[in-house]
Structure 1
Amino acid sequence: MALKAAPETQALLLDLQRLDTLLTQIAHRARTLPERAAVAALKEDAERIKAASTETSGHLEDARIELGRVESDVAVVEKRIARDTERLQASSSVKDIQGLEHELESLRVRLANLEEIELAVMERIELLEAAATGARETLEAHAARLEAAQHELETALATLVAERDHAAADRATVAARIPADLLALYDTQRERYGYGASLLRARVSSASGVTLTGSDLDQVRRAAPDDVILCPDSSAILVRTAESGL
């Protein structure tokens, strides 16, 4: 048996379709919010900035370890110089004195080289400390921008959630006024074809945007006002009103 529904009941499907279209648009807006893209870009940049900061901190730590080794070597050489100097001052052996003087000369050359290396490492540490401070400040500033962007995204999403909830409540109200069999057909057609209901206005189906052919119009004209018929182009329930031009 063909499905039937009063014209005014079928007209409710247009309200339902409008609300479903609105809900689809809201979902699309939620997925494509510019705030979402901004957060994603900032998160990607954050990883890069964090990696650069970590790399700089690693170089700084390596330089500090190197400085510690050089300072340890300097201390060892200084102790040997002090020891040999004492031995030199206390020695009366020409041979021992010559040997100690030669060793002291080598130690002083070694100490000078180490102190030069020590100075270079200290200068490198100073530069790396400045770079690490700058990287940390950059990271903190970027984190603040990311937090602000996330807040903007949350605000935008909250607005869309409110719109969605309002539209969903309106849809539930309209759906409650539609017979179950008609509603089931509407939902089935919408799920399959994208539209559940289509207004026939001036012989044009709103769902497809196509003007009905002569033969299709004849079939529509022959249908009773309470017959539930489908659009030949969109497969949505074709809702006829005074605007249909029949």
Structure 2
Amino acid sequence: MKASPRQQRLLLDLQDLDTTIAQQQRKRKTLSQRAALAGLSGELTAAKQSFMAAQRDLDTHSAEFDRIQSDVVLVSQRVKRDEEKLASSSSAKEAQALTAELEQLAARTEKLEEKQFAIMELQDAANQAFAAAEAALAGVDGRRAEFQAELDKAEAAIDRELAINVKERLGLSAELQRDVYDLYESLRKRIGIGAARLRGNVSEASNMTLAPAEISDIRQAPIDELVFCPGTGAILVRVDED
């Protein structure tokens, strides 16, 4: 295939640009902030689980306290009603029954108050555990937000550079002969490199010194004839020849 020396040098420029773009894409995928975020994943999951467990525990004790408080209110209302009835009763039998019931209600009130005190202690401990779990989750969330902001900033910077290089690549590829460009793309996709320099006797496609017979064949080829690296198959551009 024929291609002028200028066309061949454009291939080198295109390959250099493609190498830079590939490096930028790899850099974007391997940003340290991305790894830091991934490392926080397990810690964040554990913190969320601890927070939800502490919240459930607190809710359970709060519900139990509310239930007991409701019983206390009912008993208190019953005591008030019995006391009022006792105060206005003229029946000795009724007064005796009311007195007995008031004693039972007093005992019931004492038990409920003991339960309330025990639940309040559990609530206090649950509140402390919840506050600690909430703070731990907030801390992990804060670090995650910082890493995400840093990642977004780093990605945006790389994306700006990529956009410039991709635009430059479009302009560069438009200058190439279609058959030369298609060959370059085919080679690049198949072997990872489309074109490389031949510096002296060294192919930069394989980073190896070519054999004398291989160099002789390349040197004898017309300057506008595409030649290829014997080791990789990539297009070799003779940079030391015009």
Do they fold alike, i.e. is TM over 0.5? yes
Is the contact between residue 200 and residue 240 of structure 2 (CA under 8 Å) also seen in structure 1? no
**Number of matched pairs:** 239
Deviates more, 1:60-69 or 1:50-59: 50-59
Q: CA deviation at 1:217?
A: 2.3
| Deviation by residue 1:58-95 (Cα, 9 ceiling, x = unmatched) | 221111111111122233344445555667775534x9
1:192 aligns to what?
A: 190
Please tell me whether residue 213 in structure 1 is matched to residue 215 in structure 2.
Answer: no
**2:152 pairs with 116, 138, 154, which one?**
154
Q: CA deviation at 1:39?
A: 2.8
Partners of 2:213 and 2:100 lie apart in 1 by 118
Secondary structure at the counterpart of residue 197 of structure 2: strand
Deviates more, 1:33-42 or 1:130-139: 130-139
Q: CA deviation at 1:114?
A: 1.9
1:176 aligns to what?
A: 174
| Deviation by residue 1:144-176 (Cα, 9 ceiling, x = unmatched) | 332222221111011101211222233233323
Partners of 2:80 and 2:169 lie apart in 1 by 93
TM-score w.r.t. structure 2 length?
0.85
Structure 2: which 5+ runs fail to align?
A: none
Partners of 2:74 and 2:234 lie apart in 1 by 92
> Which residues in structure 2 correspond to 1:1-246 (within 5 Å)?
3-81=1-79, 90=89, 92-93=92-93, 97=96, 104-242=102-240
Deviates more, 1:127-136 or 1:99-108: 99-108
Secondary structure at the counterpart of residue 225 of structure 1: coil
Ranges of 4+ aligned residues in structure 1 off by more than 6 Å: 86-89
**Amino acid aligned to 1:194:** G
Structure 1: which 5+ runs fail to align?
A: none
Q: CA deviation at 1:237?
A: 0.3
Secondary structure at the counterpart of residue 18 of structure 1: helix
Partners of 2:2 and 2:36 lie apart in 1 by 51
Partners of 1:44 and 1:18 lie apart in 2 by 40
Deviates more, 1:142-151 or 1:61-70: 142-151
Secondary structure at the counterpart of residue 174 of structure 1: helix
Partners of 1:7 and 1:75 lie apart in 2 by 98
Deviates more, 1:207-216 or 1:152-161: 207-216
Partners of 1:152 and 1:160 lie apart in 2 by 12
Secondary structure at the counterpart of residue 242 of structure 1: coil
| Deviation by residue 1:23-62 (Cα, 9 ceiling, x = unmatched) | 0000001111111222333455334323322222222111
